[in-house]
Amino acid sequence: MLYLEGSVVIFFDGSFKNEISFNKGRKILEKIIINKMMIPNKESVKLFCNIPIFEYPLTLNADNSCRDFFKIDKITGKFIYSEDIGYDDIIDIVVTSFSEEEKSSKLRKKVNTNVLIISDLSSLSGSKNKIHKFEKCLTKFSLNVYIFGAELNNQSCNTSQLGTYLLQIIPQERCFSLDRSDDFVKYFMAPVVRAINNKINFEIDHGCFIPLHGYVNHVRISDKFSIKKIIEQESSKPLKRGYLYKNDEGGKIESDYVIDAHRYGNQLIPFNFFDQPFHSIELDEKSLKLLQFAPRNDIDICYLEPPVYHYFIDKSDNDLAKRGEELIKGMIERDVVAIGSRTLSKNSKPKLVVMFPAISKSTSEPILITFISVFKESLKFSKFPLGEKTIESLTTREVALMDSYVDAMILESHDNRYKPENTADPFYQNKLSIILEKATKEDIYDKSYIEGILNLDSEKVEKCRNIEKKFSDHYNL
């Protein structure tokens, strides 16, 4: 929505041809202001109007407080159509507002101000000199003018002769009739359906799988501040971000001499190849594996997040397709969902997904609507020992290794926040737990704390109840 970027000034003309056109223009005004206010970027939108009830222009701020957002309904409610009011010319208001010394001194600092004129241009009168003044104003203040309510060569528009002259100096891609304006100004852009990694097999058990194919159903927001730029001389060569390491003297350090390390308090602890097998996740091939079935009521939607994947059954094999259809129908009858682990490439880590069975509204086919869990990475639950735990006696080498770990983790600072037992780093918490458990022969795991993490937060569930209902209704869950 280019017309909403940067500084926005709106001019609403109350002198429409009839009440129907007036109400359409008021609806367009409300949608434009709401769209602008839904972008909390601390910018403002200024509204000028020739309705006598508004003596001064209104300024609405788009910030996180949202105070002005809730004033929109009250403001637009004051826009009432009347044939007995003498309206000032909207073009004169545009030129005057930008030409007054006090306002122009502020507006000159803003480049490419977007001016949105909501009018059917049916009541414009006067000579062409008025259009010439308007054109000079556009050039002087670098204004990007959009007309919502009139366009050239449209018989449904009630544009006056002077209004036709005005439309001729404005790019036609910025002029919209009332009907086209209502279609153009939308609250939300339609999501783009993008294909995912072709086909994937849903592995139920060893040797038992269901072939699936689908697409991701979510909005991809483009990054307007991308570092990728196109050089005119070498437009075919895309730029990539690189990192340059320098020493204290400012000299370049080659990547071969860079050591991966963890920051621990005010120290750096190297991350060597001994840590890799114990603290990394194996990279699987592309797969979708079933972990377990669970009752639908046990799944809290507030712990799920987009993107949402729609998986259909691949019918290239009739026997496998029939098996998949019966499975999804059985899940619907028993009101259960499938919890699985999905990997889309060998270079990506597994993600925990929850698959809801459903029937597609458009094709009436069985479908698995798949969400990603907030616990994105594959979960590996630890099995806590029951009863007394037997520990082998430590060797001299193990004791020395334990001492070296403890010495490396002790900091010179006396601040308790930087001590190992008070550090949130799970890598060192795990190391510390193993060391203390081995040295003292005690099980220091707090089972009640683990249970509290796995249980649902009742307060969060209560807050998300309304969101869950809307989510369920939208995806037919």
Q: How far apart are CA 121 and CA 162, in angstroms?
A: 8
Asked which of 135, 160, 184 is the last residue of a domain, the reply is: 184
Poorest-confidence range of 19-33, 105-119, 404-418? 404-418
Q: Please, which pLDDT band fits residue 117 given cuts at 50, 70 and 90? A: very high
With respect to residue 356, please indicate whether it lies within any of the assigned structural domains.
Answer: no
- Specify the pLDDT at position 356: 92
Per the model's pLDDT, the better-predicted residue between 427 and 133 turns out to be 133
Asked if the model's pLDDT at residue 382 lies above 60, the reply is no
- Specify the pLDDT at position 8: 86
With respect to residue 294, please indicate whether it lies within any of the assigned structural domains.
Answer: no
Poorest-confidence range of 2-16, 61-75, 332-346? 61-75
Give the dihedral sign, CA 218/222/227/231. Answer: positive
Asked if the model's pLDDT at residue 58 lies above 80, the reply is yes
Asked which of 130, 153, 184 is the last residue of a domain, the reply is: 184
With respect to residue 129, please indicate whether it lies within any of the assigned structural domains.
Answer: yes
Q: How far apart are CA 214 and CA 209, in angstroms?
A: 16
Poorest-confidence range of 18-22, 179-183, 236-240? 236-240
Number of domains in the chain: 2
Percent residues over pLDDT 70 in the chain:
57
Q: Please, which pLDDT band fits residue 100 given cuts at 50, 70 and 90? A: low
Q: How far is CA 159 from the centre of its chain?
A: 41
- Domain of 61, CATH number, reads 3.40.50.410
Q: Please, which pLDDT band fits residue 41 given cuts at 50, 70 and 90? A: low
Q: Which of 148, 195, 122 lies closest to 27, judged by CA?
A: 148
Kindly provide the b/e burial profile for residues 283-318, where b requires at least 16 CB atoms within 10 angstroms of the residue's own CB.
ebeebbbbeeeeebeebebbbbeeebbbbbbbeeee
Which residue type, as a one-letter code, is found at position 262?
H
3-state secondary structure of 190: coil
Q: Which of 169, 216, 173, 179 lies closest to 197, judged by CA?
A: 216
With respect to residue 29, please indicate whether it lies within any of the assigned structural domains.
Answer: yes
- Specify the pLDDT at position 386: 40
Rounded to 5 degrees, φ, ψ at 22 are -60, -45
Q: How far apart are CA 99 and CA 53, in angstroms?
A: 23
With respect to residue 423, please indicate whether it lies within any of the assigned structural domains.
Answer: yes
Asked if the model's pLDDT at residue 282 lies above 60, the reply is no
| Contact of 204 with 328, CB cutoff 8 Å | no
- Specify the pLDDT at position 328: 92
Instruction: Give the model confidence (pLDDT) of 391-401 as tens digits.
Output: 455 566 666 66
Contacts 24+ apart (CB under 8 A), 260-269: 262/425, 262/427, 262/428, 264/409, 264/411, 264/423, 264/425, 264/428, 265/411, 265/413, 265/418, 265/423, 266/411, 266/412, 266/413, 266/418, 267/411, 269/408, 269/409
With respect to residue 31, please indicate whether it lies within any of the assigned structural domains.
Answer: yes
Its domain, for residue 21, covers: 2-184
| Contact of 54 with 19, CB cutoff 8 Å | no
With respect to residue 132, please indicate whether it lies within any of the assigned structural domains.
Answer: yes
Question: Model pTM greater than 0.85?
Answer: no
Asked which of 161, 184, 207 is the last residue of a domain, the reply is: 184
Q: Please, which pLDDT band fits residue 118 given cuts at 50, 70 and 90? A: very high
Mean pLDDT of the chain: 71
For 34-128, list the strands marked E by DSSP. Answer: 43-49, 58-62, 113-118
With respect to residue 432, please indicate whether it lies within any of the assigned structural domains.
Answer: yes
Instruction: Give the model confidence (pLDDT) of 141-159 as tens digits.
Output: 888 899 998 888 777 777 8
Residue 57: cis peptide before it, omega within 30 degrees of 0: no
Task: State which of 186-195, 288-297, 439-448, 456-465 shows the largest mean pLDDT.
Answer: 288-297
Q: What does the block give as tokens for 374?
A: 């907030």
Per the model's pLDDT, the better-predicted residue between 356 and 34 turns out to be 356
Q: How far apart are CA 102 and CA 99, in angstroms?
A: 9
